[in-house]
Amino acid sequence: MKRMLKALLLPLLVLASGAAWSQEKPNILLINLDNFGWGEPGFNGGGIIRGAATPAMDAIAEEGMRLTNFNVEAQCTPSRAALMTGRYGIRSGNHTIPVAGGVYGMTQWEITIAEMLKDAGYNTAMYGKWHLGWSEGRYPKDQGFDEFYGVESTDQTMWTIQGRWQALGVEPPYVMQGVAGQEATVAGVYDMKYRALIDGDLTEKAIDYINRKSTEDAPFFVYFAMTATHTPIVPHPDFQGKTGKGLWADLLLQTDTFVGRLVKALDDAGVSENTIVIFTADNGPEAVNVGSNDVALTPHAQGTPGPWRGTLFTPFEGSLRVPFAIRWPGKIPAGSVSNEIVHQMDLYPTLATIVGGNLPQDRAFDGVDQSAFLMGEQTSSNRDHVIVYMGDQIYGVKWKDWKAVFNENEGAFSDTRTFSTPRLYDLINDPGERKDVLLPYTWAAEQALPLIGEHLETFKTYPAIPPGQLDPYEPPAQ
């Protein structure tokens, strides 16, 4: 039914801006880590000072382009929704992580990056954390992926070792798997034992997929949504104690090793030269690692945002900026670095341009094409601002090297401070966002703040989809 509806929508679709690249369509490997801070990889000054070198991550940056100002949403679900749809999470009703149970996630009306690539002739697969709906009709297989293996999220694994949970016999979290056109099936229980093993299994499954699809004529898209480095921090048995510098260093070594194995699989399959490899994360680091009255779930281990202030669930740069590197040999200039603003939403239209895919024209679309920028054809990004959301609330706007905010909080469970007059931060001279410089730089706020109004105007034409919206969904008549 969804394919039929999309066929009817094709007249409303136009070719993505710019001509499709003349060469054979590239394969795409998109690696998306979970709550992985800006300051973790060596290419951002982390690596060995975090207890483990990150040669695999660093090689992607060295052989391609590193962005120091790559932005995401402040929570897992809106971040992943933005990545998949090219739209702010609030537009699809995914502006916050689900906490009340029931149906959530993306409606069938959304056209995901996987569906765009599928329509452009790609084989598609997803391995890892989804967090965009965990029921029939909303699994990855229902949103453009030919096959998937993964989990809803990871914090649920902590339930399984809590005495009170065990006493009540509550249904455990599951690892699910499936293929397009069939019902998903349970692959196993996602408990603390499997928490340690899952990223290794995800890596092996992704490598198997690369090997299988590299022999076919059609290009492939692999969305590899690794569960590291989300709480609880439990390294794979092969890496526990390997660094001698604690759990976090062990997990960092593990994560880099798995990234290296994926890239090596491309080399071994002979497809590296025409494969785009993207390395990034959904959010900045977590504020704390959770404990329990029943058992200490995660001994001392803490991610880092580098020089930036804040963690996920905050409007600060430590929440919004994450590591980003992209490699495409011969197309993206090796060793290039930029501090221009780019958002995860931009990957959708950028890849659409590269592969000759289609962008929907019947909805608000927030991503912008960055292909010329990434290819070194221009020095500036096609984006100069990002609206800063926290749930369904706009906390402020980031414009060029400035950020104007009306609300601030220090974490998911902290009180929010609201300012009648916006605070203005100079992100170049004050990366810690500590000093309000509205005076004497009122001109920067005057440039930034109207962008919020322009953004809000779009909801008059394209209202946001309500959270928990059931299928079928049709937008209100205009």
Q: Which of 16, 13, 7 is nearest to 356 (CA)?
A: 16
Determine contact, residues 59/322, Cβ cutoff 8 Å.
no
Quick check: helix, strand or coil at residue 138?
Answer: coil
Q: With CA atoms as reference, report the closest residue to 384 among 372, 371, 396, 402.
A: 402
Is cis: bond before 229, omega within 30 of 0?
Answer: yes
Nearest CA to 2 among 90, 111, 96? 111
Q: In this structure, which amino acid lies at residue 430?
A: D
Residue 383 near residue 343 (C-beta atoms within 8 A): yes
Q: Which of 76, 95, 230, 236 is catalytic?
A: 76
Q: Which residues of 41-53 are buried (b: 16+ CB within 10 A; e: fewer)?
A: bbbbebbeebbbb
| C-alpha–C-alpha distance, residues 359 and 272, integer Å | 27
For residues 376 and 367, what is the distance between their CA atoms, to the nearest angstrom?
19
- Distance in angstroms (rounded) separating the CA atoms of residues 326 and 63: 8
CB atoms within 10 A of CB 429: 9
- Looking up tokens 């959010």 gives 283
Is 131 known to be catalytic?
A: yes
* Set 95, 131, 343, 385: catalytic member: 131
Instruction: For residues 106 and 429, give the distance between their C-alpha atoms in angstroms, rounded to a whole number.
Output: 39
State the amino acid at position 475 in one-letter form. P
Residue 318: which H helix or E strand, with range? helix 317-320
At 179, the amino acid letter reads V
- Residue 87 CA to residue 111 CA, distance in Å, equals 10
| CA count, 13 A, side-chain hemisphere, 377 | 9
Cα Rg of the chain, angstroms: 21
Cα distance between residue 226 and residue 204, in whole Å: 12
Cβ(404)–Cβ(423) below 8 Å:
yes
Residues with Cβ within 8 Å of residue 249, at least 6 apart in sequence:
50, 51, 52, 243
Clarify whether 343 is annotated catalytic: no
CA distances (Å), origin 468, targets 113, 145, 248, 312 = 21, 22, 36, 23
CA distance 292 to 165: 12
What is the set of active-site residues?
A: 76, 131
